[in-house]
Amino acid sequence: MVSGGAGFIGSALVDRLLETAGRRVLTVDKMTYAATPASLERARANPNHQFLQADIADAAAMRHAFASFEPDLVFDLAAETHVDRSISGPMPFVQTNVVGVATLLETAHAYYERLPQATRDAFRFVHISTDEVFGALSESGAFTEDTAYAPNSPYSASKAAGDHLVRAWWKTYGLPALITNCSNNYGPRQFPEKLIPLMIVSALNGRPLPVYGDGSNVRDWIYVEDHVDGLIAAAKHGEVGERYLFGGRSEVRNLDLVRSICRELEAIRPSGGRYETQIAFVEDRKGHDFRYAVDDTHTRTRLGWAPQHDLADGLKRTIKWYLDNESWWKPLLEQTDVPKPPQGRLP
């Protein structure tokens, strides 16, 4: 069972489970603006896939999902994830990322308690979170499994609350749960409000490329297929109650990342000019964290996992996908408030 399975990471995980694990998969998704039916196109053609449109905060719907599908493995990816949206409207984040997680945990625990012993031993609840729950880093260091929580936005605070609930259901009730925290994901089928797809589609449409502040904020990037391989490894080989951090070891300043996208686009889809001239520096985000990075040594050692794509390769794959799949993202630009900031200038 994959909650949030029609979203970016969720749909990649659903595809990977169907391709490699030989399992039946139930996708549960509320189908908010960030869920894209086309992202499940391959899954829907697979007889091992089922879909349920439902909110994880709907207890009756979750009881029905567990009773009818009888999962032995739950991946919880359902979440509101966009920081800017959490600043302008935090309550949907609390509803999904806190109330929804608590509802899903309570339902999973009641279901787990009724399982036969052999099935109970195999059951796992994998909660997917973010490195933003740990707050911000200075120019050095990295988050580890033992880093204290210090969220700085309504989004990261709501995700931190969800993490704490998962730990509580493990410690108090014995629900066999694991928590994973990842750095910034990118890849095909990411909603175009996120940085990398926003830069790609904005460049192609001749729009400004909005960069917060002076673009010096640093992020670590992980290709989505590497992340979902890690999630499957955690479900198979991870220890109950443990935390696993997934990073790409690909740190880069936001401005440098945008410039790299521009150069790659110029090589593949020249426009007659330089895409970099479309860069627009905009007012910095409130509470903008300077840097995120994770030390995934523990995860690599325990799970035998490592990313297979570096940032240069992943960006090429991602840009090519958006160039080849305009029919996927163009309708999204018409139905959502993708930012259109005023033109800025290079420093």
Axis crossing angle, helix 254-268 with helix 311-324, rounded to the nearest 10: 50
Tokens of 316: 């090429």
CA–CA dist 2, 25 (Å, integer)? 7
Active-site pick, 15, 132, 226, 296: 132
Half-sphere exposure of 171 (CA within 13 A, CB side): 8
Burial of residue 52, with CB atoms counted within 10 A of its CB: 0-12 exposed, 13-18 middle, 19 or more buried? middle
CB 69 within 8 A of CB 44: no
* C-alpha–C-alpha distance, residues 240 and 85, integer Å: 33
Burial of 149 (0-12, 13-18, 19+ CB in 10 A): middle
SS3 assignment, position 263:
helix
Closest CA to 254 of 209, 207, 208, 218: 218
Which one of 155, 212, 223, 322 is the catalytic residue?
155
Amino acid at 144: T
Q: Where are the alpha helices (DSSP H) in 75-153?
A: 83-88, 91-94, 101-113, 117-122
Active site residue 131: yes
17: its two tokens: 């489970």
Of how many residues is the chain composed? 347
Q: Is 132 a catalytic residue?
A: yes
Residue of 15, 80, 131, 229 marked catalytic: 131
Clarify whether 295 is annotated catalytic. no
| Residue whose token pair is 């066999």 | 176
Which residues are catalytically annotated?
A: 131-132, 155
